[in-house]
Structure 1
Amino acid sequence: MLMSPVEFFRQLPKKQCPECGQYIEEQAESYLTECERCLSKKVE
């Protein structure tokens, strides 16, 4: 039996920054893979 789409997305793990390990707060239409702190370090 197929899982409902809502249940599928509920079971996904939280997105985690690969640089520092901090969990990233998900936002609609966001494809970021690193947290704001690590991204700002790269810009400087």
Structure 2
Amino acid sequence: MIISPIEFFRTLPKKICPECGETMKEQAESYLMECDRCLSKKTE
């Protein structure tokens, strides 16, 4: 059975930052792997 695109995206797991383990807020056009806090630590 083919699942609808809406159901597919609804059932995806939350994105988790590999650096700190925090659940990230998804953004439509973001391919970032780390959360904002970890990214800001890398640019300092």
The two structures share one fold, judged by TM-score above 0.5 = yes
- Partners of 1:32 and 1:26 in 2: CA distance: 10
- Partners of 2:42 and 2:28 in 1: CA distance: 23
Unaligned runs of 5+ in 1: none
Q: Give how far 1:5 is off.
A: 0.5
- Structure 1 segments of 4+ aligned residues over 2 angstroms from their partners: none
Unaligned runs of 5+ in 2: none
Sequence identity (%): 73
Q: Aligned residue for 1:19?
A: 19
- Partners of 1:26 and 1:6 in 2: CA distance: 16
- Partners of 1:2 and 1:40 in 2: CA distance: 41
Give the TM-score normalised by structure 1: 0.95
Per-residue CA distance 1:9-42 (angstroms, 9 max, x = gap): 0000000000000011001101111000000000
Structural RMSD (CA):
0.5
